[in-house]
Amino acid sequence: MKKVVLIPGDGIGTEITTSVTTILEKAGAEIEWVEQTAGLTAYKEKGNPLPDEVIEALEEHRVALKGPLTTPVGTGFRSVNVALRQKFNLYSNIRPARTLPSIDSPFKNVDMVIFRENTQGLYIGKEHWVEEDDTKKHAESIAVVTQEASKKIITAAFEYARENGRKKVTLVHKANILKLTTGLFLEVGRQVAEDYSDIEFEDLIVDNMAMQMVMRPQRFDVVVTTNLFGDILSDLASGLVGGLGVTGAANIGDDAAMFEAVHGSAPDIAGQNKANPLALLFSALMMLEHIGQKQVAEDIRKAIYKTLVERKVYCTPDIGGEGTTSTFTQAVCDNI
């Protein structure tokens, strides 16, 4: 029995985590949940969006499943998601985007996995004011790219490709302009690729990559890039297959992992039984694979696909159904 930290999150978080844990239990997942509170809910209750007990639980159990957390825009506390990634050096943000049965999308046969470096780039938050005068404000932000972190994420992408029968790794950069930072990332990528002669390697400038993704997304397999580019492109990839509500995400380091829904906490529909659990459920399947329960994950995936074929009856309105969180959950359980 594997102990996993469960962070339900804010807004719809409680509803979708209840759905997911119900489905995993029905499928026979051998998991003991260790529930913790973080985000806006914890901030209101304890004055701290990331209480010490959350950190302690993650340090002990090393695996977490996390629902959506609310982060204030512009003011207030920094992102708990970013803090957890940096604290546990979860350098690989892994975002699959696959075409799903019955989900509306202009694209067919999309099956790409984006590896985003998760701890560096512009998202380290090194910002400062050069001038703070109200009439002449000037702010600067610093991006950091290291050889070590680049090698880790690029190697992780190649290893994933090899282990999962993938044929190609595409490295995305802006080395024509950002010659030192993303130039270093590209240089490391070319070096790592030499050790994986069985995997095709290509590199693309980020603006070209964005265009290619919306013209011929089927040409991409495994994609690896820096933090900011990965944040944008992974959301774009989700949009190609139906949106953030139908794609999972993993954050994996050398000795810890966190799996999460990357969509918002949707407080406007919280408590109304309208929330779509698919994103968190697909994240949970990635977690099951990570902890060695691959057959359970496959059983649930088949049940999800069968449920999606009959989405009109069972699925939530955001993906074209007339059902609820409860009807979707029960249908997946019945199909296992």
Query: Exposure of 198 by Cβ count < 10 A (0-12 exposed, 13-18 middle, 19+ buried)?
Result: exposed
DSSP structural state of residue 94: E
List, by residue number, the catalytic residues: 123, 174, 207, 231
Counting Cβ atoms within 10 Å, is residue 151 exposed (0-12), middle (13-18) or buried (19+)? middle
Give the closest residue to 67 by CA, choosing from 6, 116, 21.
6
SS3 240: helix
Chain-centre distance for alpha carbon 18: 19
Q: Round to whole Å and give the CA distance between 104 and 189.
A: 35
Residue of 271, 254, 278 lying closest to 328 (CA atoms): 278
Q: Look up residue 180 and give its DSSP letter.
A: T
CA atoms within 13 A on the CB side of 121: 20
